[in-house]
Structure 1
């Protein structure tokens, strides 16, 4: 079994790598969507801040709600642990302290992405340049993950990486799905109803899920089907159900996995018990809040079981953000 501090580093490396790529993709897709929609809609630039539950942190550091301030907060703000630059910096630090466990190419790839990101921070106020920078970060994340998947032994190091990756992915998916409460609301505006198909399609694209949805669902894009696909689908790696099952599979190879595995299974069963075809709009947000709370507790149980046996007294130093 790995040392607990080593296991924690690779777990967080995978989480931050997933966060870097997902945040970059979400901002890019969201930006393109807003530019194609009419100006007066319930969804606007500030919706991105709400998706990250970052209202207070944003308003403490930025006086005005503008596109430029929101982009700087989500991409370049080193004091924001969920920003692209902070996430990538944390990937680099965890790779640096775990070099003996990882393929030789990883340090070069991560360091190159870190240098590229910092060199491009002055460009993010311009939309076209910003999209290119974020696209480059997505590609860097995919390249790093591809190297890890291709060249890592399937041992406990890989197990912890997969657990961290899928926990972060499930959390991000639940945050993006909070938009569904607006898209399904009976009080939504005429503009929202008019562009409903566009909005659901962009939601799928923000999770790289559009093509697989079309391939497997064989139906037009609509709210209930999208929710069901992204919450419970068992074969699409971007669904929350898939991520929960993937975490449980990896946990079984670790010592004393019973409690974390039971928690992951409980969340999955709760999702399966929901009738997503008839769920009211006002119940979507509480369901996503429940998921985020449960995923946070699952992280706590993972840390307590494998990283910090006395977790309650000595919480893990790396924050979720």
Structure 2
């Protein structure tokens, strides 16, 4: 497979997953603004800081009002991580590999982009933001379903899976981090009714509340963190995402279980081993935010290794590589 093709497929899926997760991210605050009053429900400034775009936002908007933050994260063309920018980039990547993906996938990527573009042109689209952000999530789900049903599960599909799953793992960790940066202004609310509302909203943002209820009847911070980080069966948990990403990586490299042939497999395998042998009590005692910050750094290092191994153009040498 051409490195250009693998790169486009990988980033097509990452951008679509990112758009969906930005919608989920915003949904945390929107749900809380309905359920909780005052300082507990209306905090928009930290939202852009958690996405890593605080400096750009401050330069362009200044005041982190609800209207400014929603526009910046949703429709701002100059924000590379806005929903509009992500879906546009995904469509461009899909266009470049139309001969690889199915026609139904291309049509859905195009439809997704046009839906968001039309919403951006319609100033009234955010008057009922819940409907719009739900539509973004459903368009992303539809693309996933079409991909599963219409694309051959070969090498290209595994690159697509890696992109989607690594992006999902990263954003699940960031959604969990929201609790400590936005949803917990002071320690006085710990264990109170307000705290339960916050954790329920957090689980909803990851579409995890119903599955969590089947797993555990009581909502506690440690159990929620354990479910979103370490549960092996829930498809949006960090460990589940990384296990499936590792399976796709092995399908590309041909490596055996518990073996590695490149730095990607080494880094991903070590991270999975750490998660597999880590107990949630150890994570909490050492600091959940610190753990999540380290996790996000390691995910970035895995992404860097994927780029260096498969996507960068190098002079031809005597040794062969998997991608050309």
Aligned match of 2:71 = 72
- 1:184/1:62 Cα in 2 relative to 1: closer, same or farther (>3 Å)? closer
With 186-195 and 144-153 compared, the bigger mean Cα shift is at 186-195
Displaced runs of 4 or more, over 6 A: 183-186
What is the deviation of 1:89? 0.2
Residue of structure 2 in register with 1:253 after alignment: 251
Alpha-carbon distance change, 269 to 197 in structure 1, aligned in 2, over 3 angstroms:
same
How is 1:1-321 mapped onto 2 (pairs within 5 angstroms)?
Answer: 2-41=1-40, 44-123=43-122, 127-181=126-180, 187-190=186-189, 193-215=192-214, 217-255=215-253, 257-277=261-281, 279-280=283-284, 283-308=287-312, 310=314
1:188 Cα deviation from its structure 2 partner: 1.9
Between 162-171 and 268-277, report the one with greater CA deviation.
268-277
Identify if the C-alpha distance between structure 1 residues 241 and 130 changes in structure 2 by more than 3 Å, giving closer, same or farther: same
Pair 1:305–1:32, CA change in 2 (3 A): same
TM-score (norm 1): 0.89
Q: Deviations over 1:4-30 (max 9, x none)?
A: 110010000010111111211221343
**3-state DSSP of counterpart to 2:232:** coil
**Alignment partners' CA distance in 1, 2:305 and 2:29:** 33
Pick closer, same or farther for the CA change 1:309–1:300 going to 2, 3 Å.
Answer: farther
Indicate conservation of the 8 Å contact 2:32/2:41, yes or no.
no
- Kept after mapping to 2: 8 A contact 1:232/1:239: yes
Q: What is the DSSP-based 3-state SS (H/G/I as helix, E as strand, rest coil) of the residue aligned with 1:252? A: helix
Shift of 1:62: 0.6
Partner of 1:317 in structure 2? none
1:180–1:284 contact (8 Å) kept in structure 2: no
Q: Which residue of 2 aligns with 1:318?
A: none
Name which of structure 1's ranges 139-148 and 46-55 shifts more when overlaid on structure 2. 46-55
> Which position in structure 1 is the counterpart of 2:321?
none
Deviation at 1:161, TM superposition (A): 0.3
- Alpha-carbon distance change, 192 to 122 in structure 1, aligned in 2, over 3 angstroms: farther
- Local SS of the residue matching 1:153: coil
